[in-house]
Amino acid sequence: MKYLPLLWAGIWRKPLRTVLTVLSLAVGFFLFGTLQGVNRAFDAALTRSKTDRLLIGPRFDTPLPISAGDVIRRIAGVAEVTWTGFLRGSYQDPKQGVLVITTDPASFFSVRHEYQVAPAQLAALERTRTGLLVLEHLAKRFGWKVGDRITIANAAARKDGGSDWPFDIVGTFTNTANPGQIDFAVGNYTYLDEGRAQDTGTVTRYVIRVRDPRRSAAVARAIDAAFANSPTPSLSLGENEFASRDLATIGDVGRLTDAVMVAIFFALVFMSGNVVLQSVRERVAEFAVLKTVGYRDRHVMTLVVSEALALCLSGALLGLVLAALVFPALGRSMTDVSAWLGSRTLSAGALAAGIGFALALTLLSAALPVWNARRLQVVTALAART
Amino acid sequence: MSRASQVVAVTAAALRGLPGRAGASLVVVIGVAAVVAVLVCALAIASSFRAAAAKTGSPLRAIVLNGDDEADSGFSRQNAGAILNAPGVRAGPGMQVVGSAEAIEFVSLVDEHSGLNAYVTLRGVGPQLQRLRPELHMSEGRMFARGAHEVIAGRAAQSRLGGLKVGSTISLPNGPWTVVGTFSSGGDAHESEVLADAETLLNAYHRNDFNSVTVALRDPRDFAAFSAALAANPTLMVKAYREPEYFATMMKPVAQLLIAIAYGIGGIMALGAVFSALNTLYSAVSSRAVEIGTLRAIGFGAAPVVISVLAEALALGAIGAALGAGIAWLLVQGTTMSAMTGVTPSQLTFALSVGPAQMLTGVAVAALIVIIGGLLAALRSARVPVAAALRMS
C-alpha cells in the first residue's frame, strides 16, 4: 500500500506519454476483443453443439416423412428420437420474424436437455394443442405472458385458408448454457401438421441422441444407408457440422482474424515494452536512490512490474469495454451472420482472453527493464547523475 | 547558411542520431509494419475476390433468368427453347445454336480442410458447352458422356473438397455418379462447381425445368436486340444480363464486405499506430531538445527543425511500410482462399495475389501515420523556447 504514491508518481511522470500509451493499447485491445469475440462465437457455435446429437434432414429437396422416425429408432446406437416441423412467420410487423419449432414436446426437451423448462409448463404444452413455450428472451422482447393468445402471421398456408396461426402462451424456457441464443418458441407438431395445407406428414428434421458419442459418425452412416434407396434419402450430420456448414460460407474467417491478432500482439509488445524500458532508463538515478535508502531488488522489481501492469490493464480495460459495447451493434448490422452464430454479445471468454493477453503483455514488456534495474550498480548509477 | 543547407544539416544530424534511439525507433517501424501487413493482406483478399468475379463471364455471352439469382429462377423446356432460338444468338456448325439451358442442384460433400460437410454446386449443362465456353479445358481425365451417370469437377472445387478426385463417386438421388475428369476455366467461379449433362441430371432429380439459359451472342452489340426480343415475347417473363454484369452484381455485396473489413480493421490499427508513433516521436524530439535548442540559439530557423523531425518519421515509416508489405506478400502471395459468392450457396475458391495497388495503399497509410505523428511532434519541438530547452541540460 505504501508504494502506491510512488507507483502513481511513476505512472504520471510523463503524462502525455502515459495517455498516448494507454490510448494506443486501448485501440489494440478494442480490435483484439472484437476479433476474439467473433472467433469465439464461431468456435462456440461448433462446440456448443453436442456431439452426442445428430440432426437428420433431407439429402435432397424432398422432406422426410414422419414415418421415418420408426426406422431411425430401430437403428443400433440410437438412444432417443424427436422431430421438428419449423413454422416461420411474423408477429405484428412483417419484418418481425418469429420461428416456432413444432415438435413432440416431451422427447424434444429430453433430447435437447440444455433447455430448462418447468415440468408443469411442459405438461401444459402437451395438454394444449395450440400451446407455445417461449424462450425467455423472446417472451421479454415481445412482452408475452402466460395466458396470452398471440398470432403468428404470414406463416405456412392452412387447410382452412389463410396463413395466420394463433397460439396460447403456456410458459417459458431458458438455456443457461448459451444465453445469447437465437430466439424461438416451441409448439406442438400435431397442431402444425393437422392444420397445414402442404407438406403434411413430413418433418423439417429429426434430432436424435446417440448412446455413445464416439460412435456418432457410424450411426449417421447407418441412418443414411437405411434411407439411401428410399424416395427420401437422408443427410445425417453431427449438430456441430450443421452449424459449421453454414459458418463455412462466410469464408476462411479464422485465418484473417488470427493474422490480425498476431500483428496487434507484436506491435503492442514492442510499444509497451519500449515505453516501460524508456521510463526505467530515465529513472536509473531514482532507482539507485531507492536502493541506497534500503529498497531491495524485489521492491524495485515490483514497482516496475506494477507500473507496466497498470498501463497494460488500463489500456486493456478501456479497449475491451469499448469492444463489448460495440459488439452487439456489429451483430445487429449483420443479422444473417449473428443468426448463424447464435450469439449477440461479446462472450466472457473473449474478455478473459483479453485480460490474459494484457497480463502476457505486462510480463513481456517488463522483463527487459526489470533485468536492467536488477543489474543496476548503485554507485555507477549515482555517479552517472549529472 | 542558406535555408536549404540548414535543412540538410539538421536532417542529417537527426538521421545520424537514429541508431542511438534504435529501441524507440523500432516501435514506429513495427507499428507501421503491423498496420501495413494487415491492410495489404486484407485488401489483397478483397481485390483477388473481385478479380475472380470479374474473370467469370465474357461480354460475348448473356445469361437469362426469371428470378433474382439462379437458385431462385426456373422455367420450362418450351421457355428454354424460345430463349435459345431468340435473335442475336450465335449459330454453330450445322445451325445448332450455341447456348446451354442449365439446371443447378447442391450436393453435400466433405470439406478437405475441416473434415466437415460443405455444399458444392452441381450444374447440368447443355450439349454445346464447349462451344459456349471455349475457356473450359479438361486438365485430367475426360469429358462426361451424355446419358451416363458421370460428372466433371472444377479444379478449385476438387482442391477444396474431398470426394471429387477422378474415379471417385458422389451420391445423387438415383445412386452414385462417377467423377471422370477435372476441368479448368481460367480461374473463374465455374471452377468451384461440378458439371454434368443437364438432361441426365434432371432425370435424376425428377425435374423438368431449368434454372438459367446462357447463350453465346454473335457480337456483344447484339445483346440489346436479344434482350429486346425476350422482353417482347409474352410467354416469357425473363430478364437477360450480360454475363460479366451478372456476376459482378451478384458478387458485389461480398466484395464490398471484404473491402469494408479491410479498411475497418486497417483503419483502427492505423489509429493505434498514430498514438504509438506520436509517443516515440515526442520522446525523440525531447531527447534532441538540447541539440534543437543549440541549433535555434546559433540562428537555425524553426522550419529546418520541423522538416528534420518529419524526415526522421518518414524514414521510419518507409522501413515499416517495406517490412509490412514484404510480410504481407510472403503470407498471401500464391495461397488460395474460399468465400461465399452470393451467387449460389457454394463457395468461390480463388487465388490470392498482392498487386501494386494494394502495396501503394499500404504505403500511403504508412505515410499518413508517420506524417500525422511527425507533424504533431515537430510542432511541439518548434514551440519549445530556446532558453528552456538549453536549461534542460
Amino acid present at B289: A
Chain A residues in contact with chain B using a Cβ-Cβ cutoff of 8 Å: 16-17, 20-21, 23-24, 27-28, 30-31, 59-61, 228, 233, 235, 237, 240-241, 244-245, 248-252, 255-256, 259-260, 263-264, 266-267, 270-271, 274-275, 277-278
The minimal CB distance from A249 to the residues B38, B268, B340 is found for B340
Cβ separation of B108 and A260 shorter than 8 Å? no
Average pLDDT over every residue of A192-208: 91
The minimal CB distance from B116 to the residues A61, A244, A264 is found for A244
Whether the Cβ atoms of residue A185 and residue A133 lie closer than 8 Å to each other: yes
Average pLDDT over every residue of A345-350: 79
- Which has more confidence, A355 or B250? A355
- Which has more confidence, A238 or B164? B164
Q: What does the alpha-carbon distance between residue B191 and residue B76 come to, in Å, rounded to a whole number?
A: 27
In 3D space, the residue among B41, B111, B249 whose CA is nearest the CA of residue A247 turns out to be B111
Q: Are strands B209-210 and B61-65 parallel, antiparallel or unpaired?
A: unpaired
**Chain B from 266 to 305: CB within 8 A of any A CB:** 268-269, 271-273, 275-276, 278-280, 282-283
Q: Which helix (H) or strand (E) holds B160?
A: helix B155-160
The DSSP call for residue A76 is T
Q: What does the alpha-carbon distance between residue B342 and residue B348 come to, in Å, rounded to a whole number?
A: 9
Q: Are strands A185-188 and A97-103 parallel, antiparallel or unpaired?
A: parallel
Whether the Cβ atoms of residue B53 and residue B189 lie closer than 8 Å to each other: yes
Q: What does the alpha-carbon distance between residue B49 and residue B27 come to, in Å, rounded to a whole number?
A: 33
Predicted confidence pLDDT, tens digits, chain B (393 residues): 577 787 888 788 777 877 777 777 888 888 899 889 989 988 998 888 888 877 778 889 999 988 777 877 888 899 999 999 988 888 887 778 899 999 988 787 766 555 555 678 899 999 999 899 999 999 999 999 999 999 999 988 888 777 788 998 887 777 789 999 999 988 788 888 899 999 999 998 888 889 999 999 988 899 999 999 998 888 888 889 998 888 888 788 778 878 888 888 889 889 988 888 888 888 888 877 778 788 888 888 778 888 888 888 899 999 999 999 999 999 888 887 777 665 555 567 788 889 899 999 999 999 999 999 888 888 887 777 777 777 755
Secondary structure (DSSP) of A97-129: EEEEEEE-HHHHHHHSTTSEE-HHHHHHHHH-T
The DSSP call for residue A130 is T
Cβ separation of B23 and A20 shorter than 8 Å? no
* CA angle centred on B339, ends A235 and B326, rounded to 5°: 145
Q: What does the alpha-carbon distance between residue B365 and residue B267 come to, in Å, rounded to a whole number?
A: 9
pLDDT tens digits along A26-83: 999 998 888 888 777 766 655 544 467 888 888 777 889 999 999 999 988 898 999 9
Size of interface A-B (CB pairs under 8 A): 123
pLDDT tens digits along A256-299: 777 788 888 888 888 888 888 888 888 888 888 888 888 888 88
The minimal CB distance from A248 to the residues B37, B116, B171 is found for B116
Q: What does the alpha-carbon distance between residue A83 and residue A107 come to, in Å, rounded to a whole number?
A: 8
**What SS3 state is found at A132?**
strand
In 3D space, the residue among B124, B121, B130 whose CA is nearest the CA of residue B190 turns out to be B121
Longest dimension (CA), chain A: 98
Helices (H), chain A: 4-11, 15-48, 68-74, 105-111, 119-127, 136-142, 189-195, 216-227, 239-248, 253-282, 284-292, 297-333, 335-341, 348-375, 378-383
Q: pTM for this structure? A: 0.69
Secondary structure (DSSP) of B271-313: HHHHHHHHHHHHHHHHHTHHHHHHHHHTT--HHHHHHHHHHHH
The minimal CB distance from B279 to the residues A17, A251, A266 is found for A17
Grid cell digits, residue B275: 498514438
Does residue A247 surpass a pLDDT of 80?
A: no
Amino acid present at A352: A
Out of A152-161, A212-221, A235-244, give the one with best mean pLDDT: A152-161
Grid cell digits, residue B358: 494494394
Q: What pLDDT, on a 0 to 100 scale, did the predictor assign at position A249?
A: 45
Distance from CA of B230 to the nearest CA of A (A): 31
* CA angle centred on B189, ends B184 and B190, rounded to 5°: 50
Mean pLDDT estimate for chain A: 82
Task: Spell out which residues of chain A touch residue B280, defining contact as CB-CB under 8 Å.
Answer: 274
Grid cell digits, residue A71: 426406422
Longest dimension (CA), chain B: 97
The DSSP call for residue B111 is B
- Which has more confidence, B152 or A241? B152
Q: At what angle do helices A297-333 and A253-282 cross, to 10 degrees?
A: 150
Q: What does the alpha-carbon distance between residue A212 and residue B307 come to, in Å, rounded to a whole number?
A: 72
Per-residue exposure over A54-82, b if at least 16 CB sit within 10 Å of its own CB, e if not: bbbbbbbeebbebebbebbeeeebbebbb
Task: Spell out which residues of chain B touch residue A205, defining contact as CB-CB under 8 Å.
Answer: none
Q: Which residue in this structure is represented by grid cell 507507483?
A: A7
Q: Output phi, psi for B64, to 5 deg.
A: -120, 130
Q: What does the alpha-carbon distance between residue B103 and residue B107 come to, in Å, rounded to a whole number?
A: 13
Grid cell digits, residue B318: 518507409
Does residue A335 surpass a pLDDT of 60?
A: no
Which residues lie below 8 Å from residue A329, measured CB to CB, with a gap of 6+?
A: none
Alpha-carbon dihedral sign for residues B38, B40, B43, B48: negative
Is B178 near chain A, with CB under 8 Å? no
Does residue A254 surpass a pLDDT of 70?
A: no
Q: What does the alpha-carbon distance between residue B190 and residue B187 come to, in Å, rounded to a whole number?
A: 8
In this predicted structure, which of A157-171, A369-383, B93-107, B124-138 has the lowest mean pLDDT?
Answer: A369-383
- Which has more confidence, A122 or B349? A122
Cβ separation of B116 and A245 shorter than 8 Å? yes
Q: What pLDDT, on a 0 to 100 scale, did the predictor assign at position A114?
A: 80
In this predicted structure, which of A87-91, A126-130, B260-264 has the lowest mean pLDDT?
Answer: B260-264
Task: Spell out which residues of chain A touch residue B269, defining contact as CB-CB under 8 Å.
Answer: 27-28, 31, 260, 263-264, 267
Q: What does the alpha-carbon distance between residue B23 and residue B30 come to, in Å, rounded to a whole number?
A: 11
Distances in Å between the alpha carbon of A96 and those of A89, A92, B215? Answer: 8, 7, 41
Distance from CA of A323 to the nearest CA of B (A): 12
SS (H, E, C) B230-272: HHHCCCCCCEEEEHHHHHHHHHHHHHHHHHHHHHHHHHHHHHH
Secondary structure (DSSP) of A181-199: PPP-EEEEHHHHHHHBSSS
Q: What does the alpha-carbon distance between residue B138 and residue B39 come to, in Å, rounded to a whole number?
A: 37
Which residues lie below 8 Å from residue B286, measured CB to CB, with a gap of 6+?
A: none
